[in-house]
Amino acid sequence: MAAITFDGLTKAYGDLRAVDDVSFEVDEGEIFGYLGANGAGKSTTIRVLMGFLSPTVGGARLLGHDVTDESALVEAKGAVGYLPDELQFDESATGREILDLHAGIRGDERREELLALFDPPVDRKIREYSHGNVKKLGLVTAFMHDPDLVVLDEPTGGLDPLVKQRFADFVRAERDQGLTVFFSSHILSEVRRLCDRVGVIREGRLVTVDPIEALLDRSGKVVHIVAREALDDTTLAGLDGVHDLEASPEARTDTGFREYTFTFTGDIDALLECSPTGDSSTSQSRKHPSRRCSCDSTARTATTAATPGGWGDESRPLRGAKAPARECLPLGCRVGARGARHLGVPLVPGRIRG
Q: Looking at residue 341, what is its pLDDT?
A: 33
Residue 35 pLDDT greater than 80, yes or no: yes
- The strand pair at 301-305 and 292-295 is best described as antiparallel
Cα three-residue angle 175-180-181, rounded to 5 degrees: 90
Q: Looking at residue 252, what is its pLDDT?
A: 66
- pTM of the full predicted structure? 0.66
Residue 285 pLDDT greater than 80, yes or no: no
Q: Looking at residue 5, what is its pLDDT?
A: 98
**282: DSSP letter:** P
Residue 92 pLDDT greater than 90, yes or no: yes
Residue 288 pLDDT greater than 80, yes or no: no
Chain segment 120-171, per-residue pLDDT in tens: 999 999 999 999 999 999 999 999 999 999 999 999 989 999 999 999 999 9
Is the backbone of residue 270 left (phi > 0), alpha (psi -120 to 50) or beta? alpha
Rg over alpha carbons for the chain, rounded to the nearest Å, is 24
* Residues 315-351: b if buried by 16+ CB within 10 A, e if exposed: eeebeeeebeeebbbbeebbbbbeebeebebebbbbb
Residue 258 pLDDT greater than 70, yes or no: yes
Q: Looking at residue 273, what is its pLDDT?
A: 55
**Averaged confidence pLDDT in the chain:** 77
Contact of 65 with 51, CB cutoff 8 Å = no
Q: Between residues 213 and 183, which one has the greater pLDDT?
A: 183
Mean pLDDT of all residues in 44-67: 97
Contact of 329 with 294, CB cutoff 8 Å = no
Residue 330 pLDDT greater than 50, yes or no: no
Cα three-residue angle 10-48-46, rounded to 5 degrees: 105
Domains and CATH numbers, the chain: 2-217 (3.40.50.300), 221-353 (no CATH)
